[in-house]
Chains A and B, each alone.
Chain A
C-alpha cells in the first residue's frame, strides 16, 4: 500500500461541474502539498496545508489531520483545469507523492 493514496485515478467531467479529488496518507506529516501538472510536465504548487482549509480562486483545499485526509475541490470547472493533480506529503526531509489524479474537463 502506498503511503499516499489518491482517488479517483482518473476523472472526466463536463465544464461547470464541481470536482473533488481525495488524498489519504498513512504516516504522520508536517505539511501537505497539492500540485498541478500539465501535459508539458511542469509542476505548479497550488496549496500547502498543515491544517484547516485554504481557498484560491475556484480552488479549495481542506485537510483533516486526525483522519489523515485531504481534499481538493474545483468549483465551476473549466477545460483549462484539465491536468494531473498530485497530493504530496512531507515526511521528514522529503516529499512523498501520490500517483496523481488525471482530470479531464470537457466543454
Chain B
C-alpha cells in the first residue's frame, strides 16, 4: 500500500499565481518530509524540507506546510514562474534514515 500519496497527477497555473501541490501520508512514524523537483532527462533536485516538529518552513518563493493530525503536507509556490514547470515529488524519510519513500509525483505547468 502506498505510504506517500500525491493524488493530483497534474496542475496548471498561470504565471504570477500561487501553485499548491498536495501530499498525504499514512505512516505516522515518518518524521521528516522533503520535496524534490525534476526536469526531464535530469535527476530529482532537492527543493525544501520540513521536520515533523514544525508546521511550516519557508525558503524564498517556496513554503511547505505540515498538518500532522491530518497526515497532510502541501507545497506553496508564490509567485509561480514558467521555470517552475516540472514534476514535483513529495518524499518521506524512514525513521532509520536509510530510505526516502516517494509519492508518484505531480506535473506542474506554469503558463505565461
**A and B pair up:** no
Binding site for A on B (CB under 8 A): none
